[in-house]
Structure 1
Amino acid sequence: MTSPTSVPDDLSLATQIEHLRATLAARRSIGFPAALDIDYGPVTPLFGLLINNVGDPDTDPDTGHTKAYEREVIDWHANLFGAPADDRWGYLTSGGTEANQAAILLARDRFAGANPVLYYSQATHDWIRKTASTLGLPEVVIRTDASGEIDYDDLRGELARRRDRPAIVVANAGTTVTEAVDDPARVRFAMSELAIRNSHLHVDGALAGVPLALLPDRSVAIELGSVIDSVAISCHKFYGTTVPGGLVVTRRSLQRAARRISYTATTDSTISGSRCGQLAVQMWYALRLLGEDGHRERAERARETARFAHSLLASVGWPAWRNVHAFTVYFTTPPPVIARRHGLSNADGGISHLICMPGVTRQQIEALAADIATVKGTEQPSPSRGVRRLVPVAQLPLTADRT
């Protein structure tokens, strides 16, 4: 079967590359969380070079690298998330999955030999199951409410059953389907109330961690040191980098000593070892270009687009929902031809979503609403197919370590 991006071999290389570029550009959709509004053209020439940020960001190898830029990016986000000035560490990763895995690995090693338990909600991204399996961590899946936010009573009950064991808890800052946000302060309070002495609270902020931290009122407590122990983001989502990447930030005091690698002349506390140096420059460029105020404005414009999308879908009579501060609007899945045309996924329970990342236009939203309006008279959506069947109870993996 020919893939959508394949071309005949008898064309010139230049023609094939241009065909691939045009095809990929046309496949951008409102159903995938990637910002489109930052032009990384000025740093594109660097992609003709091998730049390897091998090893720990704080040790410079003899080969070509951009670790000074990486350190600035990490420090910018450490400031954003309130990390202590004298106790912070992080690195740029291959993606959000590695960034989250690095944090959970750190947490597991903190409590080595004490049999820690990993807690996460049923709305958490699938990286968590791979990580639990890879690291050999017993896991407990916590229920969510209809919006996708973690059920704090269920979390407290499960923590209470194992209060003698270290707890590693993952809170979401933007779940994959509904962009629900778990309240880190409430999670931390539950652990404190139960007097759980050994705990690690990690925030998966792949989608919304940075936009939420940029809220002027700081209403979501993503605070390293006072509330949480680590946070991870995806660079290609809110920042729209042309290279997939992630970032993890934590406190250096939580780490074990990094091992010296003589071959690379560095110490290394990363998972991937070799890392993309061009990503560091793209992130540095985005931060220097716009600054904190510029990125705050990008986030608010995206929320305005999401409010418009929610209102427009409601105006054509299509069941739709949106969580507070979210770029995401989720709704009853339209007919397949419309879902394919707009790049919409179909989650459990007949739910799709559009994600109003920076760069998504009102014209794109209007086109979707117009298509939906054409079928409104022949296919009436039922609220019963909507939000409360987002993840059917019968499908919940609630047996893991809940005996």
Structure 2
Amino acid sequence: MMLSRRRFLGYGGAGMLAIASGCKPTNLNLLPAENEIATLKLLPLAERTKLAKLKNNLLGYPINMNTPPEAFFAWRKQLNDAGIGMFAFNNVGNPYKESAIPYNTHDFEREVIHRFGKRYAFPADDTWGFLSHSGTDSNMHGMYMGRTILKGRTGVLPKAYFTKEAHYSVQILRDLLGLETVFVDTLPDGGMDPGDLAQKLAANRPQPALVIATIGTTFKGAVDPIDRIQEVLEEHPSYLHLDAALFGGYLPFTKHADIVAYQLPGKPAARYDSIAVSCHKFFGFPSPAGLFITTQSHFDEFNALFSKIHNPEYIHHVPGTITCSRDAVKPAEFYFFSSPEAMGKLTEDARSMMQNSDYFLQQMQSLFPKRDAVRANELSNTIYFKKPTDRIVKKYSLATMHLAINGQQQDYAHVVVMPHADRAVIDAFMSDLKSDSAHL
């Protein structure tokens, strides 16, 4: 337990010297005093129950608040009965290599990657990946892999290309990797402008390009046009990573599955190099996790370079992952969502979610035209509009941003229509918004 500042100061002087000499002063007690225990107020269960009942009001962030089906919890119990999650399991290293730690779930992890790799149209005999800690963790591995491969091929550190509509974590990862950034302009809908990318590449020709394309930008829900981007990259040493955190979850279960396909039917050319998808967004997995999928050939090229800076002796193989220890419970639990029954339910969720996105936009435009509601494209479940009052923002946990639209600066909010946002939730939101109309 952390010490309070007052208690820490109470151990000063002779007391701290006594600790250093191996003697325990009489006033040193690392357990909290009774009066301190009394001040540690946990949120009452009644309030937690109230919050749980209001969970469907969360509309501003891409989290599926639906409770997983009973079958998921039955599966979780089976895993517990088998010992998974009951003591320390560890998915250290490459899930496709034999681990020095036998208590792992690499078999579940490989099957998850195989099944979802098929969904993203990766070649069955050329797929590699793992279950990461989060979408950001998956992006980190994709960007690190791209950086390593490009430097290995050219001897030159690449520059990172992405737009200001990309998730803020991409800029954090850029800093961690020590890469210079080239910001690419956007099209009117918020997607990357391939024409501006071409100009920026020409101006930075000596350096290879690590391009991070976003399939579903954070606030506007725009989609970077990866085929046009790939055409621009043909004459330039490059690596294209997709951040498809939210859209990559549901698009494979819609008629727009080709948007995130690694290859298109009858066209063997790769459309990108790696992809990151969040597990806790569309799927409704009740814990942050992410899919990272690339090709086995890309991984082999990366791992050959990675092995030069990593001593694999300790864990008996070159891991190929930045993180050493990885959660072994999550791959086993997320395996549930790769079953045919679960994927059937995901198809239903995607269909109703897109229908409700249509409905939300129609209601906003018909009832509140002055809100200027915008949906970037028909693939998107995100609608942004002029910001309502703080009461509405707080009640529905809306994300807000200050944007320049048509040359005018304005505060905007957005709603992300996730599977829990059904017609009843949307109608309640519209009803609350009516009381807000006088503020426009």
1:70 is aligned to 2:106: no
Q: Which residue of 1 aligns with 2:73?
A: 41
The alignment yields a C-alpha RMSD, in angstroms, of 2.4
Task: Summarize the alignment of residues 160-309 of structure 1 with structure 2, pairs less than 5 Å apart.
Answer: 160-192=202-234, 195-196=235-236, 198-216=237-255, 218-220=257-259, 222-223=261-262, 226-254=270-298, 255-257=302-304, 258=307, 261-288=312-339, 290-309=341-360
1:174–1:208: 8 Å Cα contact kept in structure 2?
A: yes
**SS of corresponding position for 1:346:** strand
Q: Which residue of 2 aligns with 1:99?
A: 138
Q: CA deviation at 1:171?
A: 1.0
Q: Distance in 1 between matches of 2:143 and 2:118?
A: 22
1:366 is aligned to 2:427: yes
1:184–1:222: 8 Å Cα contact kept in structure 2?
A: no
Q: Distance in 2 between matches of 1:176 and 1:169?
A: 17
Q: Distance in 1 between matches of 2:183 and 2:295?
A: 26
Listed one character per residue, the Cα deviations across residues 42-96 of structure 1 (whole Å, up to 9, x for unaligned) are: 2444344433211111123434211111111111121112222222211111101
TM-score, reference length from structure 1: 0.84
1:53–1:66: 8 Å Cα contact kept in structure 2?
A: yes
1:172–1:204: 8 Å Cα contact kept in structure 2?
A: yes
Q: CA deviation at 1:267?
A: 3.6
TM-score, reference length from structure 2: 0.78
Q: Distance in 2 between matches of 1:344 and 1:262?
A: 49
The residue type paired with residue 73 of structure 1 is V
Unaligned runs of 5+ in 2: 1-35, 264-268, 404-410
Q: Which runs of 4+ in 1 moved over 6 A?
A: none
Q: CA deviation at 1:36?
A: 3.1
Sequence identity of aligned pairs in percent?
A: 27
Q: Distance in 1 between matches of 2:231 and 2:262?
A: 14
Q: Which residue of 2 aligns with 1:127?
A: 169
Of 49, 60, 77, the match for 1:22: 49
Once the two structures are overlaid, the 10-residue window that deviates more, 78-87 or 174-183, is 78-87
Q: Which residue of 2 aligns with 1:388?
A: none
Q: 1:10 to 1:41 in 2, by over 3 A?
A: farther
2:191–2:222: 8 Å Cα contact kept in structure 1?
A: yes
The residue type paired with residue 359 of structure 2 is F
1:117–1:140: 8 Å Cα contact kept in structure 2?
A: yes
Q: 1:272 to 1:115 in 2, by over 3 A?
A: closer
1:141 is aligned to 2:183: yes
Q: Distance in 2 between matches of 1:9 and 1:315?
A: 55
Listed one character per residue, the Cα deviations across residues 14-34 of structure 1 (whole Å, up to 9, x for unaligned) are: x86845753663563111211
Of 331, 337, 340, the match for 2:385: 331
Q: Distance in 2 between matches of 1:20 and 1:247?
A: 34
Q: Which residue of 2 aligns with 1:319?
A: 372
Q: Which residue of 1 aligns with 2:27?
A: none
1:98–1:271: 8 Å Cα contact kept in structure 2?
A: no
The residue type paired with residue 371 of structure 1 is D
Q: CA deviation at 1:265?
A: 4.3
2:161–2:182: 8 Å Cα contact kept in structure 1?
A: yes
Q: Distance in 1 between matches of 2:37 and 2:357?
A: 43
Q: 1:338 to 1:20 in 2, by over 3 A?
A: closer
Of 68, 83, 89, the match for 1:51: 89
Unaligned runs of 5+ in 1: 1-7, 381-403
**SS of corresponding position for 2:402:** coil
1:379 is aligned to 2:434: no
Q: CA deviation at 1:207?
A: 0.8
Aligned residues: 368
**SS of corresponding position for 1:297:** helix
1:305–1:361: 8 Å Cα contact kept in structure 2?
A: yes
